[in-house]
Amino acid sequence: ILVPLLDHMTTDDISRRFTAAEAYHFIDETISNMSEVELSAEVPEEVLGKMPSLEDLWKSLPQEFILQWRAYRSPPLSWSTRILRFISTRFTYNINPLGFRFLAFVRRILGR
């Protein structure tokens, strides 16, 4: 249940993003409707200690779960967001001022 919660809390579409109160209400209501077996389920080992993307986490879930919670799934990233993320992960712009300027230049071109 954490995947839909995290996805809806971090979506790029700010108008769809959970507020803190909405996130609390979502998790409180969801947990109250879960069985003891569901509540005692463990996080798979392949997820522990890693920082997988939400898209990878969605892919690892059962199809019926995905269908049930699809309203909370973020739409695919826009091409401009994918470009900016690619650049920002390739350049250490915290250390390299040239990388920061390059990223700022690309953001201006993309209007972001």
Average pLDDT of adjacent 10-residue blocks, the chain of 112 residues: 87 89 94 90 72 77 88 86 78 64 79 71
Task: Please count the other Cβ atoms lying within 10 Å of the Cβ belonging to residue 22.
Answer: 12
Same domain for 63 and 84, yes or no, is no
Whether the Cβ atoms of residue 83 and residue 107 lie closer than 8 Å to each other: no
Q: Are residues 52 and 13 in the same domain?
A: yes
Same domain for 10 and 56, yes or no, is: yes
Same domain, 42 and 10: yes
The answer to whether residues 94 and 62 belong to one domain is no
Tell me what pLDDT residue 107 has.
Answer: 79
Query: Is the whole model's pTM more than 0.85, yes or no?
Result: no
Residue-level pLDDT at 45: 73
Do residues 88 and 52 both lie within one domain?
Answer: no
- Tell me: do 7 and 48 sit in the same domain: yes
pLDDT for the residue 6: 87
Task: Tally the domains of the chain.
Answer: 2
Domain identity same for 83 and 53: no
Cα 31–Cα 36–Cα 39 angle in degrees, nearest 5: 50
Structure-token pair, residue 32: 């109250």
CB 86 within 8 Å of CB 110: no
Q: What is the pLDDT of residue 65?
A: 87
Listed residue (61, 59, 106) closest to 82, CA to CA: 106
Same domain? 24 vs 39: yes
Residue keyed to tokens 């249940």: 1
Q: Where in the sequence is the domain holding 93, given as residue range(s)?
A: 79-110
- Which H or E run contains 78? none
Q: How far apart are CA 28 and CA 45, in angstroms?
A: 25
